[in-house]
Structure 1
Amino acid sequence: MCGIVGIVGSKSEKVDLSKSLFELSKRGPDRQASLRSGRSLLGHTRLSIIDTTHLGDQPMQDPTGRYTLVFNGEIYNYRTIAESLSKKGLEFKSNSDTEVLLHLLIEKGISALDEVNGFFAFAFYDSLNDYLLLARDRIGIKPLYYCIQDDSISFSSELKGLSPLVSKMTIDTDSLHLYFRFNYLPVSQSIFQEIEQLRPGHFLEYKSGDSTVKCYYKIEGQALGDNLYDLLSDAVRLRLVSDVALGSFLSGGVDSSIIAALANIHSPGLKTFSIGFKDNSHFDESTYAEKVANHIGSDHKTIQLYQDEMLQHVSELLNYTDEPFADSSAIAVHALSQHTRKDVTVALSGDGADELFGGYNKHQAHLSALYPGPREKIASIVGRLSQGIKGGHNSRLSNLIRQVQRFSRGKDQDYFERYWTWSSWTAEEKVSSLLSPEQGMAYEKSLRDLGPRNESLEEVLLSDTRCVLPSDMLTKVDRMSMANSLEVRVPFLDHRVVEFAHSKRADQRFRKGRGKFILRDNFAHILPQEVFDRKKKGFEVPLESWFLGPLNKDLKATLNDGLLVSSGFFSAAEVAGLSDKLNRKKISDVVHLLWAIMVFHRFYSRFGH
């Protein structure tokens, strides 16, 4: 896991990468370096995982000096590929996957992407032909931003690494609307008009000022094996290859428990990690994690945090943020990553299973909307009657009210609008009233491209895998783990497991209205029964109580700061209305909007103007 940055074109001779490399140093604290070749300047910050000697350092060139590679990620089947290349007479100088990828690209070009099993974002440059290839892994586990400007292309793992290389950055108002609706930006979007994200499963070619972006991978639902246990077990086995200490996150939920159990089978005595909230039992699931750890026999560590310690992570998260991202569970992931990094450099995670196998409440809601029964009709009535009551996340009752109201809003919409309603944190009309009337509204096309193509639950799950997973869940894990120089690997997103999941019909993934039954059928014998029986609970934090307590002063300062309104993006009346709600302590229905504003304010004060 590393950070990459670079520029190709006429501007490459006029810049250096020292500022960019500094900005990316947490992604790669072990070494930072840059290299000029032809019309390129490529940079790399290294977190040493495979072959930790200097032979694995980057930027890496072939013996002729013609080809250069900077690479962020891991190629899990690199040993198999290396063996194949060795049979053709190639001799390797290192034991790193970077050198294997470099020579595979030299030999096979773009078709090399079909052979690798891993997560990655890389830049491959051919100085003889002044040709640049950028590529991102199939599912979008690793990020890659780029900008084509001034007869050059620049790229980076994070916006903060790219900003020193870009001459102009303008807030994209369509992206702003999407951010406040979803609390994240969809896969190809950036907060700036001039900068884009390379989509998952895509590559970009740049030569002589011309660029083309193409797709090399689409989820086809073609199972590459018929036994999920064997597929996932092998995916975990591959992800245990490391020359540094490795462990696994363990929340006690289904997904992380499966990964930890399989990893401990392959590597007995595996270190596992969870966090607990000492002064808020509603958000504390550490006891469940400890029960699973005892069952599988892992070497478990529970990190118990008090409120003041969690609030420190809020501050660190805001300081690290270089693009608005307001999934509040990132606070907990930041805390877990920071404490896990004290013991290991690599951690496995259960991310991806919810999207693949139907683990969210909204998936059950979609199923209920397609096949309503008496319970759904009652929920719809209760939802309409309770509109004056504010739901929230601070208690089981308020969360139930919120869910019933949410179901009632979406159930009668057409499938496309329903999908985005149930994917939103803030209603579209609320966002439209918050932002100034002159702000852009041309975001519909990006949603149309990413949303479901029909009302089936299979399409809902596919859209979640294509959009919500890389835009929200994987962005969260990448940013929060990299902020703490921790590599996180996600076995559920091995492309073989992804294809297996999407080869299954909804009725094979759901039973009696509940998802993940494939996981129960395949892994119940290695875990306690209660893991599968317990209702899913997200990785949440007590935002509302924080905003009414220790973060109240900071939030008031944010809402009263003239910078928000003077930016021209916000309605002064709506901001004043939110401030009034805060003063009256009536914020249950706008907690996540307030967090999104707080995150944006910190971003805008540092990068936006």
Structure 2
Amino acid sequence: MCGFAFLYQPGCGTDVRQARIEAAMVALRHRGPDEQRVEAGDKFVMGHARLSIVDLAASHQPMRSPDGHHLLAFNGEIYNYRELRRTLAARWHFLTQGDTEVLLAGLCLHGIDFVDQLEGMWAFVLWDMHEQTALLCRDRVGKKPLYYAARGGNRFLCASELPALRRLDEQDWVEDVDGLADYFRHGYCLPGHTTWEGVKEVLPGHWVRWRPEAPPFECPYWRLPPPGSGAAQDDDALRETLTNAVRKRLVADVEVGAFLSGGIDSSLVCALAQPLMDRPLKTYTIGFTDPAFDESRYAEAIARFLGTDHHRAPLAAWDQQRLDTLLTRHLGQPFADSSILPTALVSELAARDVKVVLSGDGADELFGGYQRYQARAILRWYTRLPSGLRKLAESALLALPEPGAHHSRSLLKKAHLFVDVARRVASETPYTAPLMFHPQAYAGLFPDLVHRGHRAAGLPEECALDDLDRMLHADALVYLPQDILVKVDRASMAHGLEARAPFLDHKVIELAMTRRAKQHLRIGCGKRWLRNAFAGCLPRDTWKRRKQGFAVPVHTWFRGELGDQLEASLTSHGGFIDVKEGRRLLAEHRAGVRDHGYRLWMLHASLSDFAA
């Protein structure tokens, strides 16, 4: 797991390119604290920051092909590299024992089609020095990041993170209004886009080819199958496939640990990993002082059940400095998921002992774990009620003050959220991703952005899927890579920690998608197939416990100092936010009328100084 940067710019001096790549490497040092190297030519420069996981003493990057024609910078892990190496050995004399040279050999011998054989997570740039062509590629679901910009016909730059990319660029960055509109709707950018004009993200499952005097050409090599694709498999197939995915992700020349929240997903990954190890698995969790949000006792119970070597750290309050660092030094654009703070804290805790952790990410999107899927199913019944009766019931419910407790602990809070979701869902056809605001509220807060925004790439043009299937499919295409995977990558790599997600093995994904969304749901809960297949792996209480997720008590934080900071920021720099409406939202929250915590967090995150 690493970071890299590349700049092609023949119109400037070698010293200018060198200064820019050195600045980019400083910005990427957290991703690769073990080694930083740079390779330069007469028109280009490429840098790599390495976190050594496999073949620790060799596999230096950027890596040149033996004939000197190609130069590779690679971020990620190829889990089946040993098998691929055996098939390539007849035509390639290997000098190292790692996955980087296997990737280089495969690309040189087979071209971009070689990525079809890869199992793992990756982002890479391959520079062809004879053809003067850059080939960029990102893994199937977007676990590893890769951004690029083509400036005119003769300047091209790419990097693992936006702050590093910005340091390569000689021109000032201007906000992309459509990207900001997407952010304020969803809390993140839509796939392929950023909040900066002309700065693009390589789409998951795509490659991009660029050559001078031509626009970048982007092409998919893998598409997420929709729910119900292929013949449904049995429980044995799921057990075997997920266990193999965990086994592959334990391959490393360093010790592997795991995140353990106490929920189903991380607990199941740990339960499958522990028997495959010759020592107690090191597990890590975060606790909150607010008991309504604290799951650490459940994690500790699972750790005792599995016999792991468990570690816990508390998160007592919000940390403005940590948030600013994550946003400006690692993300480089607004990001509204407040759980990035505890994710960074648990990553810092784990990085004291290990370089690699397993995580449970992806299970909710693939196996129907979110409560919004339950809400969508209930909506089918709810929308059949007379509209007058619905309005009466909603008005009576919303007249009651909204509790600040997590919705898993409050039926009234859950009812408030259902009404909120019902109103937002009714206005969005077809479903793309969860909305932060009802369109009417959005228009009040962001009047200049109402008709702005990008279209999500990769979603079906027509609603061939039913509403639940489309929701599951869209979440895996949009919410998963743009929120969950961004959060985990930046928070973990901020501390030089590699996170591996067995649920996002492409064979597990394709298996999960053989079932329709409704087949993953049962009354009151999701993940029906997981529950059936792995019932004996975890205590019964774990399967019964209400889903909570990695929620943060932002509702409390905004009633104190953080609320004061937001009010001051709105006054000094409201941007596209209607200041009067933003203050009204904050006042309503502080008065306890409504819990706008996560919306206020989104406003707060947008006001950071990304140019600093």
- Residue 252 of structure 1: aligned partner: 262
User: What does residue 597 of structure 2 align with?
Assistant: 591
1:6 paired to 2:6: yes
Which 10-residue stretch deviates more, 129-138 or 426-435? 426-435
The Cα shift of 1:381 comes to: 5.7
Q: Which amino acid aligns with 1:554?
A: Q
The residue aligned with 1:538 is 549
Once the two structures are superposed, the pairs formed by residues 367-378 of structure 1 within 5 Å of their partners are 367-371=377-381
- Take 2:47 and 2:232, find their aligned partners in 1: how far apart are those partners? 37
Deviations 1:3-24 (A, max 9, x none): 1111234357542201111111
Following superposition, the deviation at residue 499 of structure 1 comes to 0.3
Instruction: Report the AA paired with residue 317 of structure 1.
Output: L
Separation of aligned partners in 2, 1:380 and 1:570: 29
Matches of 1:145 and 1:393, distance apart in 2 = 38
Q: Residues 540 and 215 from structure 1, CA distance in 2 versus in 1: closer, same or farther, beyond 3 angstroms? A: same
* More deviation, 187-196/292-301: 292-301
In the TM superposition, 1:260-279 aligns within 5 A as 260-268=270-278, 269-277=280-288, 279=289
The match for 1:570 among 553, 568, 577 is 577
The percent of aligned pairs where both chains have the same amino acid is 35
Taking the aligned partners of 2:196 and 2:158, their CA distance within structure 1 comes to 14
CA contact 1:450–1:466 (8 Å) conserved in 2: no
- Give the aligned length: 593
User: Displacement of 1:103 after TM fit?
Assistant: 0.5
Q: Secondary structure at the match of 2:193?
A: coil
Pair 1:217-2:222 in alignment: yes
Residues 49-104 of structure 1 show CA distances to partners (whole Å, capped at 9, x for unaligned) of 11111x21110111221111000100000000011111x14221111111110001
Secondary structure at the counterpart of residue 414 of structure 2? helix
Does the CA-based 8 Å contact 2:404-2:595 persist in structure 1? no
Cα distance in 1, alignment partners of residues 435 and 460 from structure 2: 14
Match of 2:326 in 1: 317
Shift of 1:315: 5.1
CA 1:349–1:11 in structure 2 vs 1: closer, same or farther (change >3 Å)? farther
In the alignment, what sits opposite 1:442? 452
Q: Does the residue aligned with 1:185 lie in a helix, a strand or coil?
A: coil
SS at match of 2:534: helix
Q: Which residue of 2 aligns with 1:127?
A: 129
User: 2:301 maps to what in 1?
Assistant: 291
The 5 Å alignment of 1:452-491 reads 453=463, 454-491=465-502
Match of 1:405 in 2: 419
**Structure 1 length as normaliser, TM-score?**
0.91
Which amino acid letter does the alignment assign opposite residue 221 of structure 2? Y
Alpha carbons 2:492, 2:499 under 8 Å: kept: yes
Matched AA of 1:2: C
For residues 151-230 of structure 1, the aligned pairs below 5 Å read 151-166=154-169, 167-210=171-214, 211-220=216-225, 221-222=229-230, 227-230=237-240
Q: Determine the structure 1 residue equivalent to 2:53.
A: 49
1:140 is the counterpart of 2:151: no
Q: Which amino acid aligns with 2:326?
A: L
User: 1:63 and 1:510, CA in 2 relative to 1: closer, same or farther beyond 3 A?
Assistant: same
Unaligned ranges ≥5, structure 1: none
| Cα drift, residue 452 of structure 1 | 7.7
**Matched position secondary structure for 1:26:** helix
Taking a change above 3 Å as real, the CA distance of residues 145 and 170 of structure 1, as seen in their structure-2 partners, is same
RMSD: 2.6
Q: 1:235 aligns with which of 231, 237, 245?
A: 245
1:111 maps to which residue?
Answer: 113
Separation in structure 1 between the aligned mates of residue 458 and residue 5 of structure 2, nearest angstrom? 31
Deviation at 1:245, TM superposition (A): 2.0
Counterparts of 1:274 and 1:529, CA distance in 2: 21
In the other structure, the counterpart of 2:535 is 524
1:40 to partner: Cα distance: 2.6
The verdict on how the C-alpha distance between 1:511 and 1:577 changes in structure 2, with shifts beyond 3 A counting, is: closer
Which region of structure 1 is more displaced relative to structure 2, 550-559 or 488-497?
A: 550-559
Deviation by residue 1:357-390 (Cα, 9 ceiling, x = unmatched): 0000111112222355999999886434323445
- With over 3 angstroms needed to count, the CA separation of the structure-2 counterparts of 1:373 and 1:176, relative to structure 1, is closer
* 1:272 to 1:375, Cα distance in 2 relative to 1, 3 A: farther
**Partner Cα distance (2:76, 2:277) in 1:** 22
Aligned equivalent of 1:334: 344
- Do the aligned residues in 1 keep the contact of 2:315 with 2:342 (CA within 8 Å)? no
**By how many angstroms is 1:223 displaced?**
6.9
Greater Cα shift, 8-17 or 123-132: 8-17
> More displaced, 231-240 or 540-549?
540-549
Once residues 246 and 507 of structure 1 are traced to their aligned partners in structure 2, the CA distance between those partners, rounded to angstroms, is 35
Task: Tell me the SS of whatever aligns to 1:492.
Answer: helix
Whole-Å separation in 1 of the counterparts to 2:530 and 2:497: 28
Conserved in 1, the CA contact under 8 Å of 2:424 and 2:437? no
Indicate the SS of the match to 2:96: coil
Distance 1:405 1:225 in 2: 36
Note the alpha carbon deviations across 1:289-348, whole angstroms, 9 max, x for none. 11111112211122234337x666445434534110010111111111111111111000
TM-fit CA distance, 1:451: 8.5
Structure 2 counterpart of 1:67: 70
Aligned to 2:87: 84
Q: Is the 8 A contact 1:296 1:526 kept in 2?
A: no
Q: Which residue of 2 aligns with 1:99?
A: 101
TM-score by length of 2: 0.91
Q: Aligned pair in 2 of structure 1 residues 356, 163: CA closer, same or farther (>3 Å)?
A: same
Deviation of 1:572 after TM superposition, in Å, equals 3.8
Unaligned runs of 5+ in 2: none
- Give 1:547's aligned amino acid: F
Q: Secondary structure at the match of 1:307?
A: coil
Q: Distance in 2 between matches of 1:222 and 1:125?
A: 38
What is the CA–CA distance in structure 1 between the aligned matches of 2:65 and 2:598, rounded to whole Å?
49
Compared CA separation, residues 544 and 579, structure 1 to 2 (3 A): closer
Distance 1:231 1:353 in 2: 14
Residues 298-307 or 378-387, more deviating: 378-387
Q: Which amino acid aligns with 1:577?
A: R
For 1:598 and 1:452, the matched residues in 2 are separated by: 36
CA distance in 2, matches of 1:298, 1:345: 17
What SS does the aligned partner of 1:134 have? strand
Shift of 1:193: 1.5
**Counterpart Cα distance in 1 of 2:470 and 2:521:** 14
Contact 2:424–2:435 under 8 Å retained in 1: no
